[in-house]
Structure 1
Amino acid sequence: MNHLRLIIKREYVTKVKNKSFIVMTILSPILMIGLFSLVAYLSQLNEEKERVISVLDESGMIQDVFKNGDHISYNILENMSLKDAEELVKQTESYGLLHIDKLNNVDSVSGHIKFYSEDSPSLSVISNLESKIEKRLENLKLQNKGVDIGMIEAAKTKINIVQESFEGEKTSKIDSVVKLVFGGLAGYLLFMFIIIYGNMIMRSVIEEKTSRIIEVIISSVKPIQLMLGKIIGTSLAGITQFVIWLIIGGSLLFVASAIFGIDMGHMQSPNQQMMQQAMENPEMNMQIQDVLAAFYHLPIANLIIAFIVFFICGYLLYSSLYAAIGAAVDNETDTQQFVLPVLMPLMLAVYIGFFTVIEDPHGTVSTVFSFIPFTSPVVMLMRIPFGVPIWQQILSLLILLGTFMLTVWFAAKIYRVGILMYGKKPTYKELIKWIKY
């Protein structure tokens, strides 16, 4: 056990003192926040750009719906030909020209609307124009048929089915979305952590193996101790790097926002902009309250404890496989045939989580995969927000721990033989032989 502590300390110190590790630890958050800030700044400039749209409505049916907004204004043109309107727009350098042909039939107007501009117009601008025109034409058609628009608006009914368990606990559709977000973030974080730092462990083993340092170390240390020391030491270095990223990234984000006056909320896609406009109505405000209520009803304590336990156990399980792969090969090129089968259960877990858990978190598929050790760290973390009995969580964790111990034993067998093998690309058949030694 004393050897294990020394190996962990050596592995940790070696990693954190490595120049490339230090450079990437400091440089990565700087580059990411710099790029993020640049995109936010450019997006903010684009958001604040004033757009003037000229409207030539020869039908006279639609022009009344165009009202000036914060960053967009409409110039209504009258008694002017289309050619003259185009020349005027070019001279004034307006954003574009919306033209509606002179037609008396409402049904024909929809096919005779064009938007002229020098460059491709924004998707959000076109969507906004289409929405205004569609609403106007629909009302005109109804009025022509003698329908009272006010009565239709008054007859509209919003249905929101209240969900409640037999124990009296109330939920809503928003609850499922919030729970999926929390579970998805936990599963995705584990997935990325395994890929990044699992590869770091594998490369570390390959480097020591190719430099023949491993031959000296193995003479005084058991292979299983060496493998566990590498896994734990590298994991601690990864956690250290991750914490430093959070501290530096958070500080730089705050500084960038304060100095340059960048509002990160302006980094929006056209769909997000339309959603923001929709949030101004009372119904959306009610949904925001539902989101806050859903967050309040989350099993926070259970989520935190389960996340820590399943995250650590799942990471150790896959890290032992990465260490065994590193011991079995001489270079990173030969690792591809072994890495893919290791990652496939992890990728399957992510897909199962996103496409099955949200639909039926307590169904057969979700439940079964939350007990399979190679998928349970992700699937169980995504199921827990929906309410999983404690006995199922404990059983899944025990199976995961048992599989980890078994995997460590198998990986140590491969590690023991593989770290002294050079110049030969192993096959799966040879790996099975190594396990039997």
Structure 2
Amino acid sequence: MSLSLIIKREFNAKVRNKSFIVMTFLSPLLFTAMALLVGYLASVNGDEVVKIAVHDQAGTLIKDFKNDKETHYTDLSALSLALAKEKAAEGYEGLIYVPAVTDAKDLLHKVEYISNESPSMEFIGNIEDVVNDKLTRFNLEKAGIDYKKIDEAKTYADIRLSKFSGEESLRWLNEIKIGIGFAFGYLIMMFIIIYGNMVMRSVIEEKTNRIIEIIISSVKPFQLMMGKIIGTSMAGLLQFLIWAILGGILLFVAGNVFGLQVGATSAASPEATQAATTGLQAYLPEIFNLPWGTMLLSFLIFFTGGFFLYSSIYASIGAAVDSETDSQQFLLPIILPLMLGVYVGFFTVINDPHGTVATVFSMIPLTSPIVMMMRLPFGVPLWEVALSMAILFATFFGVVWFASKIYRIGILMYGKKPTYKEIFKWLRY
């Protein structure tokens, strides 16, 4: 039995599976429905106004609490504190209590927010800003300083960004680049986890059913392992392609044909939407100037190399255990490098895409598929990309060589939970 026949067998087994077919066509529907639900919930939340009661005994701050689209303040200072609390508990989100004080500085520690629900840090911050601003004005007036003149004297710089070539640069371009890179890296991570597990389950299933004993009589373990990896990756790529096409069509139809609001943007005001559209138009030339050819080609190569590398490990784990339950002890060391790649990429690349940390982790094969994809939108020398790919595939072939040893021995072992010590012994056989 040749490698091509094993690949064909694995591919057909995956794409003809009922659960595979159902999820392939059901997932885009679920994704679209979830996006519509998020849009609906965002629009509902956008219309809600939080009602806050205020009991200001001396009238010190009541005029400083301004109503806006999200929050409406009601003055209950004419009532006693006990009655104000009772009324606030019935029809308001909470009560801001401002006691009468002899020294204005006491307000720094005596203003109280009373509510049965825990408020957001942003809301508490807004109340603190009101108190701080009031006391700042009071202190300046006490010192004989006109606060209005300070307001008039304030200036707000608008730093112009440009390149050495003279072209204008944009403020949020780095955030857009890291967003694009993060999307590529996250797709690779999810694909590895989802379809790597599929490879492992396939090996465990055949081993449990004793089918593997028949197959192994006519094919080498290495060929069988590679066939499973390649066949499963082809099925996964096909599924992702169908998801992308169907998902795009459904979102387009929902938004443009039926006029449904998709995502959280439905809660934005027309002015905010118009401003966002105008801002996006300014960024489009920069987005189009990104190295898309290099990024897409690199995505396919790192996608393939990363999946092959991790799938060989998943396959060896599947061969070493008898059930998915037994495999759990071996999965954490696989997932940790993937998570590390995401966090390192997100928290270091945006600040210093060409720094030592980002560069090193884009070369380490267990993290390079994710970190390098996050660096690429910032412009990476081709020699670094080529070196990272070479290290990745060289490591893949090395790991396959080790994994095939584990696979060769573990695939015919039953009824015993292997330990790390035993697996290391298999590598010497």
Shift of 1:205: 0.9
- Which stretch of structure 1 is more off in the superposition, 312-321 or 138-147? 138-147
Q: 2:98 aligns with which of 80, 97, 100?
A: 100
Q: 1:393 aligns with which of 369, 372, 385?
A: 385
Q: Which residue of 1 aligns with 2:293?
A: 301
Instruction: Give me the TM-score of the superposition, normalised by structure 1.
Output: 0.80
Distance 1:170 1:266 in 2: 28
Q: Which residue of 1 aligns with 2:338?
A: 346
Q: Which residue of 2 aligns with 1:356?
A: 348
CA deviation digits over 1:331-355, x for unaligned, max 9?
2233344433334433333333234
When residues 82 and 428 of structure 1 are mapped into structure 2, their CA distance, relative to the original with a 3 A threshold, is: closer
Contact 1:178–1:291 (CA under 8 A) maintained in structure 2: no
Q: 2:175 aligns with which of 157, 174, 177?
A: 177
Contact 1:106–1:141 (CA under 8 A) maintained in structure 2: no
Shift of 1:119: 5.1
Distance 1:61 1:407 in 2: 71
Distance 2:83 2:336 in 1: 63
Distance 2:397 2:418 in 1: 24
Distance 1:317 1:309 in 2: 12
Q: Secondary structure at the match of 2:4?
A: helix
Distance 2:386 2:129 in 1: 52
Q: Which residue of 1 aligns with 2:375?
A: 383
Distance 1:121 1:373 in 2: 45
**Any gaps of 5 or more consecutive residues in structure 1?**
none
When residues 402 and 155 of structure 1 are mapped into structure 2, their CA distance, relative to the original with a 3 A threshold, is: same
When residues 170 and 394 of structure 1 are mapped into structure 2, their CA distance, relative to the original with a 3 A threshold, is: farther
Matched, 1:310 2:308: no
CA deviation digits over 1:119-168, x for unaligned, max 9?
55566554444434433333333233222323322333444555666566
Shift of 1:51: 3.9
When residues 166 and 120 of structure 1 are mapped into structure 2, their CA distance, relative to the original with a 3 A threshold, is: closer
% identical aligned pairs: 50
When residues 422 and 307 of structure 1 are mapped into structure 2, their CA distance, relative to the original with a 3 A threshold, is: same
CA deviation digits over 1:360-416, x for unaligned, max 9?
322333323322222221222122222211111112212222222333333334333
Q: 2:150 aligns with which of 138, 149, 152?
A: 152
Distance 2:175 2:96 in 1: 39
Q: Which residue of 2 aligns with 1:233?
A: 231
Q: Which residue of 1 aligns with 2:4?
A: 5
Q: Which residue of 1 aligns with 2:414?
A: 422
Distance 1:423 1:118 in 2: 56
Distance 1:30 1:119 in 2: 36
Q: Which residue of 2 aligns with 1:137?
A: 135
Distance 1:78 1:331 in 2: 68
When residues 340 and 53 of structure 1 are mapped into structure 2, their CA distance, relative to the original with a 3 A threshold, is: closer
Supply the AA of the counterpart residue of 1:398.
A
Shift of 1:197: 0.8
CA deviation digits over 1:256-308, x for unaligned, max 9?
7787965632699xxxx9xx9xx79x9x9998788667535533332222122
Contact 1:327–1:418 (CA under 8 A) maintained in structure 2: yes
Distance 1:78 1:341 in 2: 61
Over the aligned positions, Cα root-mean-square deviation in angstroms equals: 3.9
Distance 2:236 2:30 in 1: 19
Distance 2:25 2:281 in 1: 39
Contact 1:174–1:287 (CA under 8 A) maintained in structure 2: no
Shift of 1:309: 1.5
Q: Secondary structure at the match of 2:2?
A: helix
Q: Which residue of 1 aligns with 2:397?
A: 405
Contact 2:251–2:262 (CA under 8 A) maintained in structure 1: no
Supply the AA of the counterpart residue of 1:341.
P
**Any gaps of 5 or more consecutive residues in structure 2?**
none
Supply the AA of the counterpart residue of 2:199.
I
Supply the AA of the counterpart residue of 1:22.
I
Instruction: Give me the TM-score of the superposition, normalised by structure 2.
Output: 0.81
Q: Which residue of 2 aligns with 1:221?
A: 219
Shift of 1:104: 5.8
Q: How many residues align?
A: 425
Q: Which residue of 2 aligns with 1:210?
A: 208
CA deviation digits over 1:190-234, x for unaligned, max 9?
122111110110110111122121222233333333222211211
